[in-house]
Amino acid sequence: MLHITVNQVLIQASVALAFGLRGLLPDSAALWPRSAPMWVQVLLAGAVIDLGLYAMHRYSHLQPFLWRLHMLHHSPERLYWMNGGRRHPLSALILAGPSLTLLMVLGATPIAVAAWLAMLSVHLCFQHSNLDYSLGPFRHLFCVAENHRWHHKREFANAQVNFGEVWAIWDHLFGSYHDARTTPRAGEVGLIDTVVPRTYLGQLAWPLRKLAKANSVAANAR
Amino acid sequence: MQTLIRYATFPAIEGGAALLMIWMATSGVSYWPFFPLVTLSAIAMVALLERV
């Protein structure tokens, strides 16, 4: 619960800060279609955020330091609604930062961005929930629990699929979509041979300690 | 009941919340406290349904 609360506060504060800073730029510099209907603006903001999250999420699985920060999100061995918000705050900022900055620079309407982020919060709970729900053939369009559970597979090599947050289009476009008749169950998700500290502060320090340890091993090897 | 949960929860809760929030954004409803309230209500429904 603490993870969700802290990350929500951070995201809301980042949006407020980003759009506060945007006020310093002249309106003439804005490329955003502000005269478009609001539902179009919400979907457009959503597309930018979703693509940004997909790219940064995929990069977080490739870059060792980002993976250390992101590991916390993959550590639970049973998925339920709160796992959507179980992220290291630095990882949350790194995932959402680029797309929110781009939207700020483009001059996006704040309420369109805020509305999408609110919807995303609901979606992340559904995506990680332990509910037996199904979208049938529409699961190929949305990143929902039945396909996202593959992304949380215990074996790291098998978990490099279904990086998308809301729309599955990015996974289809960039070749990371995986679908199967079954879905991983509790015990088949999580991380192999990894013990995560139980306390919130311990979990915040965990990836940084792992980094310090890795640096020290590298220095000793030289 | 199980079939209803299986096929209706996502469109009803997430679809409903999304449509409501788009309508609120279009109608000029202020962000605070209405958007967080809709978000929290939808999340609470997911959390409660997990216990059914």
B22/chain A closest Cα distance in angstroms: 6
Q: In this predicted complex, what is the ipTM? A: 0.96
Q: What is the DSSP letter of B30?
A: -
Return the CA Rg of chain A: 18
| A185 Rama class: left (phi>0) / alpha (psi -120 to 50) / beta | beta
Q: What average pLDDT does the segment A160-187 reach? A: 93
The arithmetic mean of pLDDT across residues A66-87, rounded, is 93
Does residue A222 sit within a domain?
A: no
Residue A115 lies in a domain: yes
- The answer on pLDDT for A113 being more than 90 is yes
Q: Does A131 reach chain B within 8 Å, measured CB to CB?
A: yes
Tell me the pTM.
Answer: 0.92
In a domain, A221, yes or no: no
Domain that holds residue A25: 2-210
If phi > 0 it is left, if psi is from -120 to 50 it is alpha, else beta; for residue B9 that is alpha
Q: Which residues on B lie below 8 Å from A39 (Cβ)?
A: 22, 25-26
pLDDT tens for residues B1-50? 888 889 999 999 999 999 999 999 999 999 889 999 999 999 999 999 99
Q: How confident is the model at residue A220 (pLDDT cuts 50, 70, 90)?
A: confident
Query: Does pLDDT of A22 surpass 90?
Result: no
Number of domains in chain A: 1
The residue ranges of every structural domain in chain B are 2-50
**Does A218 fall in a domain?**
no
pLDDT in tens, A122-169: 999 999 999 999 999 999 999 999 999 999 999 988 899 999 999 999
Confirm whether A215 is domain-assigned: no
Asked if residue A79 lies in contact with residue A149, where contact means CB atoms within 8 angstroms, the answer is yes
Q: Does B18 touch chain A (CB under 8 A)?
A: yes
Decide if B25 touches A, using CB distance below 8 A. Answer: yes
Distance CA A209, CA A186 (A): 28
* pLDDT (mean) for A43-53: 98
Q: Which residue has the higher pLDDT, A214 or A174?
A: A174
Mean pLDDT of all residues belonging to chain A: 90
Q: Does some domain include residue A217? A: no
Q: How far B18 CA lies from chain A's nearest CA (Å)?
A: 6
The distance of B1 to chain A (nearest Cα, Å) reads 12
